[in-house]
């Protein structure tokens, strides 16, 4: 009889890769990675609300510290000083960026970081392909293990897509490329053909009878096709879909890391990658639902590229509209019982969040109830407006999501729209030919008075659709830079 926890057959140590052997003989490694995984789960839980986001960040940092230290201590490191020097350099760069980056530039920073995760996955896959013995994935026949080839191909492909797609997203968000959709002729056929080729090459690489270290040329073709499809998928996507793109690329980066975790036999990478990938996918679904669009329609791209009905294109400036002044706005705001402020990307561009909070504080001193309404896709990444308002120290209990505040506009004296457009456009409800039809929007037209801050009457939102709110009887247009306009209102108050 075999005693508990004993084996009847002695398995030689060389049957395990070095990393697998560590996990087999040292249960503390598995425990440390489990604690790190719990920290990451708590981080996601904390980041689900602005009120707990700071603690969520701390849990995430603690989990990553545990995972990195555990890996360095328990694995054979070729040159620990070089690893520590690289960590120090990367940490210093990250610290400087975090100190200098403006909150308005956060979307492009996130896109840039996603590209680095994708590139890291590609580099790990290339290293494993060129030197599989160091990763413990070289079989007795001199070929890379079949399951490792699948993991390697998937990790490289997803990482390359994440890298090139994130670079394009960064360029669009940072203004290096036009934020408008760039539509290639036959793009759907090109994309489908490229994706099919990537899947076919992955299968061919996995099933090949000859796949020694660096031997199979199909791996490099697969990598090149993956870089290309990341580029092709993102360039047709317009600015209105950027929140979905950011969360989608976040999901891709997670799955790339998870695939590389299998190649590296690293449980922490697998768990972390799966958490990031699944949470990013869920967030993408939430963003799509907020726009009443399918995920496939977003990936197909071109939102706003083709106008719907007669409202598409430039604003109809020949229609009558009323121009208000800062003094008018200050008087009516001070006399209001309740004011709902709807911020958009224009507020971010003007960096008007601090003076907007100052205006809100002054109104509250006059006994006015002030609330902030946040649309799920306002800005250029999920939670963009929440981050900006938190930076300006706007109380969390004054910030409401669309479904929680939309019913209050009928009892609201003033709807104050600053830099938003498509998310308050009634065409989403009334015009079936509009490209934004079906997207849930704020019912601002039910408010007694509407103040609408925008730079000029000639501009339209990302969807390229004119907004009937501009021309309503209760609307006063406050034209100019959002920060300067609100500063003038504050002075008048």
Axis-axis angle for helices 106-130, 242-263 (nearest 10): 30
Q: What is the dihedral of CA 473, 479, 481, 482, to 10 degrees?
A: -10
* Cβ burial 274-293 (10 Å sphere, 16+ → b, else e): bbbbebbbebbeebbebbeb
Q: Which residues pair with 450 in a beta bridge?
A: 415, 475
* Residue-wise DSSP of 221-289: HHHHHHHHHHHHHHTT--GGGHHHHHHHHHHHHHHHHHHHHHHTT-HHHHHHHHHHHHHHHHHHHHHHH
Q: Is 443 a catalytic residue?
A: no
Beta strands of 281-401 (E only): which ranges? 338-343, 369-374, 399-401
* 129 touches 215 (CB < 8 A): no
Sign, Cα dihedral of 27, 29, 33, 36: positive
Distance CA 443, CA 426 (A): 8
Q: State the distance between the two ends of the chain, measured CA to CA, in whole angstroms.
A: 88
**Options 422, 431, 443, 466, the catalytic residue:** 422
Supply the residues annotated as catalytic: 422
């Amino acid at each position: 009889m075999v005693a508990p926890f004993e084996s009847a057959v002695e398995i030689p140590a060389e049957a395990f890769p070095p990393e697998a052997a560590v996990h087999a003989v040292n249960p503390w490694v598995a425990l440390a990675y489990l604690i790190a995984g719990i920290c990451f789960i708590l981080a996601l839980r904390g980041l689900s609300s602005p009120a707990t986001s700071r603690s969520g960040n701390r849990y995430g940092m603690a989990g990553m510290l545990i995972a990195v230290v555990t890996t360095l201590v328990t694995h054979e490191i070729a040159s620990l000083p070089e690893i520590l020097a690289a960590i120090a350099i990367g940490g210093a760069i990250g610290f400087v960026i975090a100190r200098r980056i403006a909150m308005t530039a956060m979307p492009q920073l996130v896109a840039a970081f996603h590209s680095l995760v994708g590139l890291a996955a590609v580099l790990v896959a290339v290293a494993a392909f060129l030197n599989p013995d160091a990763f413990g994935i070289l079989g007795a026949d001199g070929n890379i293990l079949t399951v490792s080839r699948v993991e390697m191909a998937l990790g490289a492909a997803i990482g390359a897509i994440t890298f090139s797609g994130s670079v394009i997203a960064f360029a669009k968000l940072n203004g290096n490329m036009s934020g408008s959709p760039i539509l290639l002729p036959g793009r759907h056929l090109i994309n489908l053909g490229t994706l099919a080729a990537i899947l076919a090459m992955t299968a061919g690489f996995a099933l090949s009878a000859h796949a020694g270290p660096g031997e199979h040329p199909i791996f490099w073709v697969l990598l090149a096709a993956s870089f290309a499809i990341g580029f092709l998928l993102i360039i047709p996507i317009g600015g209105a879909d950027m929140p979905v793109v950011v969360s989608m690329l976040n999901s891709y980066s997670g799955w790339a890391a998870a695939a590389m975790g299998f190649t590296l036999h690293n449980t922490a990478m697998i768990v972390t990658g799966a958490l990031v990938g699944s949470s990013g996918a869920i967030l993408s679904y939430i963003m799509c639902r907020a726009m009443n669009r399918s995920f496939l329609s977003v990936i197909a791209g071109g939102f706003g590229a083709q106008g719907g009905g007669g409202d598409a294109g430039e604003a109809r400036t020949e229609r009558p509209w009323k121009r208000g002044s800062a003094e008018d706005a200050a008087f009516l705001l001070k006399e209001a019982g309740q004011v709902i402020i709807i911020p958009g990307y224009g507020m971010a561009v003007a960096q008007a969040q601090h003076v907007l909070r100052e205006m809100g504080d002054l109104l509250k001193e006059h006994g006015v109830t002030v609330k902030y309404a946040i649309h799920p896709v306002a800005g250029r990444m999920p939670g963009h407006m929440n981050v900006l308002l938190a930076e300006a120290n706007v109380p969390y209990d004054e910030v409401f999501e669309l479904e929680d505040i939309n019913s209050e506009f009928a009892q609201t004296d003033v709807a104050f729209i600053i830099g938003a457009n498509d998310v308050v456009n009634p065409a989403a409800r009334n015009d079936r030919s509009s490209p934004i039809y079906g997207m849930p929007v704020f019912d601002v037209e039910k408010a007694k008075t509407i103040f609408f801050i925008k730079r000029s009457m000639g501009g339209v939102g990302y969807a390229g659709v004119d907004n009937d709110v501009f021309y309503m009887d209760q609307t006063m247009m406050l034209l100019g830079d959002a920060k300067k306009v609100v500063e003038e209102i504050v002075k008048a108050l």
